[in-house]
Amino acid sequence: MTSEFLLARAREPWTELAAEPVEFPSSEGANVVVSPGSRLCPPWWTGIVVLGRAGVVTVPSRRAAELMAGASTLSPEELVDPDRLRAVLPVLDVLGPASLCYLDRADFLPVRGGVVVEEAVHDHDGLSALLAGAGEEDTDESGLVDITSPAFVLSESDDVVAAAGYQTWPRSVAHLSVLVAPGQRGRGLARVVASAAVAHALAAGLLPQWRARANASKCVALALGFQELGAQLSVRLGETVSPVLAGETAV
């Protein structure tokens, strides 16, 4: 069962990343704010984050806010469903949805024994080789190049076959990143290195956050004790006018 404390902590960084004052509703629903500088989504996109039965939405202009009014009848769960949004909004492109999972310290299920996971610096030759071999798409999706923690690596025959780490987010959140070499997937290596990264984050007093687009990634998180609390979706809307071009002042 999700604790109110865990849910409240999970929501905190997203309200800060919104870049304009906004809060998750105390009851079911979503609050919309005009925020061209939002970090919930790419520039000039609309960012939607739903946690529990409540959500926050950042839009780049008042025109986009007017468009979002067309989605006012959707439930929070439907707001992160691209098909439901397309039915009521002029959606040109989407990123996601991605599941958002969080870990309470008491629920952590670490991987113990059997393998040796080492800490590595970011310019470790084996780590660089792993990133290069995984390809640009998988590397970007993992977010491993952006970690602020040490990298936790698993090596076989002098080759790094899996690595994990985390980026420190606002409000003491550790955003997890995991990458496994393409030829080594399906062996449970992601859980091994992620377990080491999660343990490091918890020892630092941080809240582990796991964002997963692929079901396999979510399964790794759940196996470590994470709870799926919601989802994130970014959409690019048609007929969205830049506040600068429209003569608007950001609010």
**Which pLDDT score, from 0 to 100, does residue 245 have?**
40
Strand partners, 47: 58, 234
Which helix H or strand E contains 133, and what residues bound it? helix 125-134
- The tokens describing 122, both together, are 């970011």
Bigger pLDDT: 72 or 174?
A: 174
- The tokens describing 210, both together, are 């796991």
Q: Which band of pLDDT confidence, cut at 50, 70 and 90, is reported for residue 249?
A: very low
Planar angle of CA 212, 213, 216, nearest 5 degrees: 75
Rounded Cα distance between 131 and 142, Å, is 10
pTM, 2 dp: 0.89
94: helix, coil or strand?
strand
Fold of 105-225: Aminopeptidase (3.40.630)
Residue 133: which of 170, 171, 142 has the closest Cα?
142
Average pLDDT of the residues in 224-246: 79
Furthest CA-CA distance within the chain: 62
Rounded Cα distance between 223 and 115, Å, is 18
Average pLDDT of the residues in 92-114: 93
Mean pLDDT score of the chain: 89
Q: Is the pLDDT of residue 66 over 50?
A: yes
What is the domain partition of the chain in residue ranges? 4-100+231-246, 105-225
How is residue 64 annotated by DSSP? H
